[in-house]
Structure 1
Amino acid sequence: MLVVCPPSIQAQEQPLVQAEMLASENEPVKAKLIAEEESIQPGRPFLVGVELQMADGWDTYWMNPGDSGFPTQVEWDLPEGFTAGPIQWPYPEKLDNESLVAFGYTGTVLLLSEITPPKSLPADEKIELKADINWLACKDSCVPGGISASLAMPTSDAVPTANQSSATLFAEAKEALPQKLEQKKGDLAVQDQKDHILLQFQAGADSFGEIESLLFIPEEGEVVDYSAPQNWDKKGEKLSLNVKKAHPEASLEQVKGVLIISEKGGVTRAIQVDSNLNEVESVAPVATDGVSSVAVALGLAFAGGLILNVMPCVLPVIALKIFGFVKMAHQRRSVIFQHGVVFSLGVLVSFWILSGGLLILRAYGEGVGWGFQLQEPVFVAILASILFLLGLSLFGVFEFGTSLISLGSKTSSSAESPLGGSFMSGVLATLVATPCTGPLLGPALGFAMTLPPVQALAIFTSMGLGMAFPYLLFSAFPKMVRFLPKPGDWMIVFKQLMGFLMMATVVWLLWVFGAQTDQMAIFLLLASFLVMAIGAWVFGRWTNPTRKKTTRWIATILAGVILFVSGSAAILTAKNFKEMGSPSGGTQLVADEGREAYSPERVEELQAKGVPVFVDFTAKWCLICQANKVILHSSEVEKAFAEKGIVPMIADWTKKDPVITKELEKMGRTGVPVYVLYPGESGSAPYILPQNLSAKTVKEYVGKLQTPRTTVFAD
């Protein structure tokens, strides 16, 4: 700490002496005490300011310094009978320094304190006011500093006159003090909304100019997440500002701070915030998307799970399950029902594990969403290996009666087939279904993320029940199978066709794997598939019942070793190349699609220039996303974008990306696809398009860009 003794007071004849402790020219901060008035009248309070002059590039800190630093401290040493009030802080600047956010001052700042003298003082005497001032100044590094300063003022029974030399400085400091909001100038309401604080501000008539931005800064730390963007929108005359809490699980009873309002023309005002909060059950308006109750979310989740059965992600597995029902058509009704129930149980258990893992990871601060497992190259490699082996089985390379996804029974004459195959069918169906959020599921899953764990799991359970419902129906009423073709030679052809469909799914997963790693990783994974195919061929060729028992045992062991080695190679390849793929979303240009990579800063920059932006939140493991690209790249849509000057962007969520996850959360979504159209006006809330796109739908939303709007959801 720099401690400098005050200089001798040389001008005793002057009515006011400013005791000043100036650091050397190389020091980052110069400090001094100055008074608003030229003399002290007994019993009359007056203002004294601590003036801090920061060198270029240096800053000092506000009462809440943010992520780092400490506030400037003033300790008064006053004559007997004098008292000093607390520091009156002008509103601060938000100082961003890499990953840290701080609140403080640059240039010159005047920290005010009200000094109250006693009611009785001798006339025409010099009174010396002393203060120890300590600060932390930061630029590329931080330097603590401090001085002991004094200020001599004469006493007088007359009403003091203003100190003209400091009048402008005091006027500016008072203008920068946060003010209480008078009723005629506007209305401010603050609410605790689970993981956000919602501030709703309505300006009185002619009280404010055209507002360009809002920023809330709390007086205390650990109240809000400083690094999270503060999003605001305007609906009529009411402004709403959503501020993310530092600890979403904490319930706030009171919030104090400053609401900084920036108006067009460079005018900035600060309003005191001191509100008792009423916690509300709903989340921020942009996150509910019309889902206002658990009952509605349960219904949407069930319907969405039902629709999953016709989504391309699940089709290969579902087709085989129906094929299994056809093969079991002549078995006892109780057996068919057991298989339906066990299949449904496999679906539900998988949903419970995935949703439970999702909730746990999010509770520990991980930025994950629905389908998070497909962002891991290791999981993609394992799933691709399983489907590859299943495809080989469907082609007849090998037969495995209790394979991962049993076709119902070994032969049409067998008494009963193992239930384990039906259970694993449900598991596999769920694993390949998670990339598809599908219609109705986006709002339901987004709402589930705002609920307590038990209610959230109930919504995921409803989704699983919806997906399993058709098979429960088939198993409960086996006569419905009669609407399907009777068993015959067509089943062999159908099984082989499903093999091609399964291999197409493997090709898709390899594409996803390549996007997460690199070309060498794809080559090594394909090589492991070749070795797997050899192991499967050995198993199928030499383990059938016509072979000797010894031959079957040797072939089984050899095939097992080959499959183990090739499977391990696939997993190790994925693990080793996990971090070697190109970075996702926001860090590079997506040249292959002619789109700019997404970043929130870039969107804000373009909006500030009056340029609208269309963002495609997508992932290569999302088949609906890929199908919709045909629409987004059509000549109609491209022409509509060009006419409005819209900049299209890609937010690629194929790999984990916390920035994209955070933006999806703001939209009330936990998965992709999500299509967002940002108007070309700063502060205007975006439009969120339906998940199932058409050129007509996109053009309709593009046509709404004339005026700023509040967020509109269209699911």
Structure 2
Amino acid sequence: MNALRTLISLVFAALLIAVGAFPTGAAAQIGAKSEVHTEQVQARLLAWAPQGVATGAAASGAPGTVWVGLQITHQPGWHTYWKNSGDSGLPTELQWTLPPGVMAGDIAWPLPKKIPIANLANYGYEGTVLLPVPLIVTPEYKPGPLTEAMDIGLKASWLVCRQECIPQEGEFALRLPLRSSTALDGGAFEAALKSQPAELTGAQQVQVAGERLQVRISGLPEAVRGQALELFPETPNILLTAATRGDAPGPRSWTQRWDGAVWTADVPLSPDRADSPADLPLVLVTDDGQGWRADATVSGAWPAPAPVAAMSPALEAALAANAARGAAGGGPAVAPPAAPAAVPAGTFTWALLGALLGGMLLNLMPCVFPVLAIKVLGFARHGDDRRAHRISGLAYSAGVVLSFVALGALMLALRAAGEQLGWGFQLQSPLVVALLGTLFAVLGLNLAGVFEFGQFLPSGVATLQARHPVVDAGLSGVLAVAVASPCTAPFMGASLGLAVGLPAAQALALFAALGLGMALPYLAASWLPAVARALPKPGAWMDVFKKFMAFPMFGTAVWLLWVLGQQSGIDGAGALLALWVALALLLWALGLAGRTRWLIASVALAFGAFLAQAIGPAVLRGAEPAALQAQAAPAAGERWQPWSPERVQALLGQGQPVFVDFTAAWCVTCQYNKKTTLANGEVLAAMDAARVQTLRADWTRRDPVISAELQRLGRSGVPVYVLLAPGQAPKVFSEVLSAADVKDALAALKS
């Protein structure tokens, strides 16, 4: 590949991105977004104001109402939660940023559904749900005479669960026109408001009878009499959420019947009940999705509440300290990692072979194909010049191997400094992604014939590639590694995972083996005369092939644009695309002749500079890393002690095995495993026999130290269960924990 093209394209991209780094007021609007995507949900901020805003408070002096809401579309198998989440979970929370004189009401929660999981149950939503919120526009809202829209901001947090649970959040913004209608999503709001429970009038009664509640609800429509209803208490931890409908009352079952126009139910109380309310709001739902809400007065004497199932005092104190430290912007010191130990020669040899094979398979990745295809074009250009082939192959291989070693050294150095990095870490930077995408877009334009570097460069510079083919081939290898780094071919994962824990010499040898494996096919081809003879002779086909190769370049640019969209959102990707259009116009104009060249080029340059200043910051916008938080000190005398990396290292250093439960209060699978396998007498006896110390890492509140450990284990959510023993690899169990699996692993420790 033409090294000069690579360098000049990179310079152009860097200049445009550097100009775009200067913030302006306009960039704030471009940075706002009304949609957030994760692997589990798609969340959108919607508005419904069919009469506009100014016809309310701003026009008549009386309060007006418009509707906004967060719409969450779940991937199959995932769910979020109602106001009472049930046995586990957390309700979705919305924090609004509104102009003076505008107030947000409460969420108008649509009717929930019961989501049973083993012997537990949650209340929540699957599929698509809209959480509507009324905005009250008071007479104090006084927009200026030139104001055309109301700016609305939202910070939302939700918990999405399947077997594992993942806390997520998003920031949203939209501009609601004051005078024109906003009714595009009216159907969604009408459906959500129709799904609200109707209020029942009259006196509703709930009688406490021992460990059960006797419910009597009147005033329900005549059309639903005789139908079975589902019962949802708005107050958590009062009723047994997982109780099933039965024919007779039981410890885990409830019954219902109709006494004429009165619906009655006999429901067991929750064994974890810690409150004794005087009023109990209830929601009743039919099988076909109709619902009613009743405020019932509780009579009778409540039984003594159960002890509050709270976290340990040490952990609670640590979480409070974490919150205070986070608010102050501080963070704890992270213990330095243990010194890496060399692996046996046999293991290291197999790792080298795996790295070599993994590097070879990288050539099959789509992101590497454009670079290799242009190298094949270089074969044809040299014809039968075997010496040129061999020099090019050696230079390309040197560029690949040295780039792998440099990337590996940088990754190891940053990880040693405390950074949480993995292979392909450089593509976590929006700046690097934007530069690489711009590079491939420019190369694609050059191959397609939109411009030629020789048209606007001095002849001495334009012929550098021809005069320095070795440098050109070496830089081609550097570029190949740059685009291959996000790919992880088979056999690479184990080698890379091993490399980051090895001494520097062995780790860099593994990275060099990866590079040699990637370069090996091209190196072999450059030294085998049969390959050169198999290629067609130079001719007109080379121009066709050159233009055809523009499309893989554009495809790689599109892929990098998509990567940037995941980091900076749709606004960042759109801004970079607009900058590419301006750059393409400039490059095309520089290839023209006469005064037209400078006239159009000047306009294109000015237009590109304006775009870079106006929308360039959106390209580089990215999430800032959260501050580190402290860990709780271990509580002596308890079976389950708080987890910390220091505690694990201390126990392992004493020769004691460790079982870690990464859990959270809102994780239903965690609660199920905690009440079954982790409470199993045989499992606990086996742990005691093996002298296993049990630690619990509580992720109820976000903890960057726990998050880093989950990443190290290859997980992104809880539950995670891992057994650690001195001198042995960690044993990571399934999310649904089996007593047999735990006992087998414990038995293996003693053998």
What band does the TM-score fall into relative to the shorter chain?
0.3 to 0.5
Structure with the higher helix share, 1 or 2: 2
Which has the greater radius of gyration?
A: 1
- Which gives a bigger RCO, structure 1 or 2 (Cα 8 Å, sep 6+)? 2
TM-score (norm 1): 0.42
TM-score (norm 2): 0.40
